[in-house]
Amino acid sequence: MIAKSELVSCRAELEERLGQRIMLKSNGGRRRTVIHEGYLENCSSNVFTVCCPVSPTYSEHVCFSYIDLLTNVVEIAFDDDGLERLLLQTEDSR
């Protein structure tokens, strides 16, 4: 079981990085991996939101819970510590 302190620390770490470039890798079902690239936009009490610019006039928003991070349903990497590493892992798994 995930302790509340783990959720609080996970949220605090993400709040420190608001506005930074982020890459998320998640399971899309049926052996499909979905990758989102964007900026960490918001951290609320239960979920965090990433804004993924698709074109200059349109942005897609995706939300994930902190539990998704702690249970490894979603993998994240920030620009300063491993976007390239996460992208390489994704390409190797294809």
Sketch the domain layout of the chain as residue ranges.
4-92
Chain mean position to CA 58: 19
Instruction: Classify domain 4-92 by CATH number.
Output: 2.30.30.100
pLDDT given at position 81: 62
- What confidence tens digit (pLDDT) does each residue in 62-77 have? 999 999 999 888 999 8
Tell me the pLDDT band of 84, cut-offs 50, 70 and 90. Answer: low
Residues paired with 39 in a beta bridge = 21, 51
Average pLDDT over residues 2-18: 90
CB within 8 A of 10, min separation 6: which ones?
66, 69, 70
Question: Which segments of 2-82 does DSSP mark as H helices, in order?
Answer: 4-15, 66-70
pLDDT at 78 over 50: yes
What pTM does this model have? 0.78
SS3 state at 82? coil
